[in-house]
Structure 1
Amino acid sequence: MCYLTNNVPETISLNVSGSLTFSTTSANKVYINPEVDHVTSIKERFSALSIQAKPIQGTSAAKLTPEEEMFINRMTVDALVKATGAGEMKESVVTLKATITGINSGQGWYYIACRSCVKKAEFENGVYVCRSCGTLEYPLALYRVKAEVQDRTGTTTVVMFNYPAENLLDTSAKKLLGKMKPGDDSVPKELNTLLGKELVFKLKLDKYNLIEGLQDYRVSTVFTPVEGLEAVYAQKEARKETACQSGPATSSNTVLTTEDKKKRKRSSCEEDASQELGEDGSQELNEAQ
Structure 2
Amino acid sequence: MSASDKRPLWVGDESFADGEVIAGVGMRRQSRTKELFGIKAGSDEGTMEHITPIKEIDSIKDDFTIKVRIIHLWTQKSKFNAKETYSIEMILMDEEGRKIHASCVKKWFPKFKRYLKEDSSIYVKKPNVAPNTLNFKFADPERKLNFYHDTTVKECENFSGSAHGFDFVDFNTFVSNNIMESKSFDIIRHIFEYGRMDTSEEDKSKHKMLLHLQDIEDTKLKVTLWGHNAYYMTEFLANNNSLAPVVVIVQFARVKFINGRPFSSTYFDVSRLFINNDIDEITSYKNKLVSENGQQLSSSGIKMIASKQNTEHDDFLKNHMFSNIDDLFEPLEEKTVIIVGTVKGIRQNIRWYYLACSNCYKSAKEKESSTDKVDGSHEVAEIVTYECSNPNCKNIKISVIPRFKIPLRVQDNTGTLTLTLFDQEAKKLFKYTAKELYDKNKKLGISLDLYPMELKVVVDKKLAIKIDITSYNVDNKSNIYGIARLTENANIIDELEKKNLNSQHDNSDSFIIGSSDIASQETKVVKDSFSHTGENLTPCARDNSTATSPTKLFSTPTELKRNLATCIDLDEMENLSTSKTPWLSPPDEQPISLLVPKKEK
CA distance in 1, matches of 2:348, 2:507: 43
TM-score (norm 1): 0.57
Q: Report the Cα offset of residue 244 of structure 1.
A: 5.4
In structure 2, do the counterparts of structure 1 residues 176 and 137 end up closer, same or farther at CA, with 3 Å as the change threshold?
same
Instruction: Determine the structure 2 residue equivalent to 1:46.
Output: none
In structure 2, do the counterparts of structure 1 residues 119 and 97 end up closer, same or farther at CA, with 3 Å as the change threshold?
same
Instruction: Determine the structure 1 residue equivalent to 2:324.
Output: 76
CA distance in 2, matches of 1:233, 1:166: 23
Output one character per residue of 1:24-80: Cα deviation in whole Å (capped at 9) or x when no partner: xxxxxxxxxxxxxxxxxxxxxxxxxxxxxx998666xx3x43123223311111122
Instruction: Determine the structure 2 residue equivalent to 1:205.
Output: 469
In structure 2, do the counterparts of structure 1 residues 176 and 201 end up closer, same or farther at CA, with 3 Å as the change threshold?
same
Output one character per residue of 1:167-203: Cα deviation in whole Å (capped at 9) or x when no partner: 2113210000011026431011111221111111111
Q: Does structure 1 residue 139 correspond to structure 2 residue 400?
A: yes
Q: Does structure 1 residue 123 correspond to structure 2 residue 366?
A: yes
- The aligned amino acid for 2:386 is Y
Instruction: Determine the structure 2 residue equivalent to 1:191.
Output: 455
| Aligned residue among 404, 408, 414 for 1:153 | 414
In structure 2, do the counterparts of structure 1 residues 122 and 158 end up closer, same or farther at CA, with 3 Å as the change threshold?
same
CA distance in 2, matches of 1:214, 1:81: 7
CA contact (8 A) 2:388 2:398 kept: no
In structure 2, do the counterparts of structure 1 residues 243 and 170 end up closer, same or farther at CA, with 3 Å as the change threshold?
same
Instruction: Determine the structure 2 residue equivalent to 1:215.
Output: 479
Instruction: Determine the structure 1 residue equivalent to 2:338.
Output: 95
Moved over 4 A (4+): 54-59, 228-247
- The aligned amino acid for 1:102 is G
1:163 is paired with a residue of what secondary structure? helix
CA distance in 2, matches of 1:114, 1:106: 24
| Aligned residue among 353, 363, 366 for 1:110 | 353
In structure 2, do the counterparts of structure 1 residues 243 and 167 end up closer, same or farther at CA, with 3 Å as the change threshold?
closer
CA distance in 2, matches of 1:245, 1:192: 38
Output one character per residue of 1:223-263: Cα deviation in whole Å (capped at 9) or x when no partner: 0142x55444444444455555669xxxxxxxxxxxxxxxx
Aligned sequence identity (%): 24
Query: How many pairs are equivalent?
Result: 191
CA contact (8 A) 2:340 2:497 kept: no
- Greater RCO (Cα-Cα under 8 Å, separation 6 or more): 1
In structure 2, do the counterparts of structure 1 residues 239 and 159 end up closer, same or farther at CA, with 3 Å as the change threshold?
closer
1:186 is paired with a residue of what secondary structure? coil
Instruction: Determine the structure 2 residue equivalent to 1:277.
Output: none
CA distance in 2, matches of 1:234, 1:80: 18
CA contact (8 A) 1:114 1:136 kept: no
In structure 2, do the counterparts of structure 1 residues 136 and 183 end up closer, same or farther at CA, with 3 Å as the change threshold?
farther
Q: CA RMSD in A?
A: 3.3
CA contact (8 A) 1:146 1:216 kept: no
CA distance in 2, matches of 1:215, 1:201: 15
- The aligned amino acid for 2:333 is M
CA contact (8 A) 2:358 2:398 kept: no
More helix by share: 1
| Aligned residue among 403, 424, 427 for 1:166 | 427
TM-score (norm 2): 0.29
Output one character per residue of 1:121-178: Cα deviation in whole Å (capped at 9) or x when no partner: 1110111111324654421211111111101110111011110112211321000001
In structure 2, do the counterparts of structure 1 residues 99 and 111 end up closer, same or farther at CA, with 3 Å as the change threshold?
same
Q: Report the Cα offset of residue 105 of structure 1.
A: 3.5
In structure 2, do the counterparts of structure 1 residues 70 and 127 end up closer, same or farther at CA, with 3 Å as the change threshold?
same
- The aligned amino acid for 1:186 is L
In structure 2, do the counterparts of structure 1 residues 118 and 154 end up closer, same or farther at CA, with 3 Å as the change threshold?
same
In structure 2, do the counterparts of structure 1 residues 165 and 66 end up closer, same or farther at CA, with 3 Å as the change threshold?
same
1:177 is paired with a residue of what secondary structure? helix
CA distance in 2, matches of 1:73, 1:112: 34
Output one character per residue of 1:81-133: Cα deviation in whole Å (capped at 9) or x when no partner: 24x1xxx2341x21111111121232311111112221111110111111324
